[in-house]
Structure 1
């Protein structure tokens, strides 16, 4: 039987809230399901609350609200906060991504989350509603 996890997009007002919302969707109040992109990808691999057989879907309801909240402004904020932790060999590329986000171009956090969820689940397991 397929398990459905609901991501309430109306509650996603930024990246930190996304981590809370997806954690609660999978593992209940206060639940964890990643707090960064690598951890999310690891959680999607199993053993962190989803069925071992991979028979689950995410319904991202009100995803358009999340897309706005996780748009270029939030992406730039995230990149700016992360810049000091980036390996020196990657700083130039990272600054370029930040400049693109500040100019309203390039992939957003929403785009990256959707990509991570699609890459880590079975085809059709992410439903944007």
Structure 2
């Protein structure tokens, strides 16, 4: 039996809120399902609430609202935050990504989340509604 996890795009107002929404969708109130991109990818690989047999669907309703909330402005905010605690060897890349995000260019956090879901789950797992 396929399990469906629903993300309500109207509730995603930024990256921090996305972590709350996906955590609750998968693991109930107060649930955890990653608090950064790497942890999110790890959770999607299994063992953190999703069925072990990969028989699940992520249904992202109102995804266009999330795409706006997780757009270039939020991406730039996230990259500024990362820059403050990144290893010196990562700073040039982060600064370049930040400049692009501030100019409204390059992939957004929404794009990155979709990429992670598609990379870490079976084809057809993600449904954008």
Q: Into which bin does the TM-score normalised by the smaller protein fall?
A: over 0.9
Report the equivalent of 2:100: 100
| 1:89 to partner: Cα distance | 1.2
CA distance in 2: counterparts of 1:127 and 1:91, whole angstroms: 35
Residue 39 of structure 1 corresponds to 39
TM-score by length of 1: 0.98
Query: For 1:114, what is the secondary structure of its paired residue?
Result: helix
Deviation of 1:79 after TM superposition, in Å, equals 0.3
State the alpha-carbon separation in 2 of the partners of residues 101 and 19 from structure 1.
Answer: 21
Number of equivalences: 129
Secondary structure, aligned partner of 1:13: coil
Q: Cα offset for 1:99?
A: 0.2
Moved more, 10-19 or 87-96: 87-96
| TM-score between the two structures when normalised by the length of structure 2 | 0.98
Distance 2:111 2:57 in 1: 18
Distance 1:84 1:17 in 2: 21
Q: Which deviations, in whole Å up to 9, do the C-alpha atoms of 1:19-72 show, x marking residues without a partner?
A: 000000000000000000110111011111111101001000000000000000
Q: Which runs of 4+ in 1 moved over 6 A?
A: none
1:71-82 residue pairs with structure 2 within 5 A? 71-82=71-82
Gaps of 5+ in 2: none
Structure 1 CA distance for aligned equivalents of residues 54 and 126 of structure 2: 13
Instruction: Name the Cα RMSD after superposition.
Output: 0.6
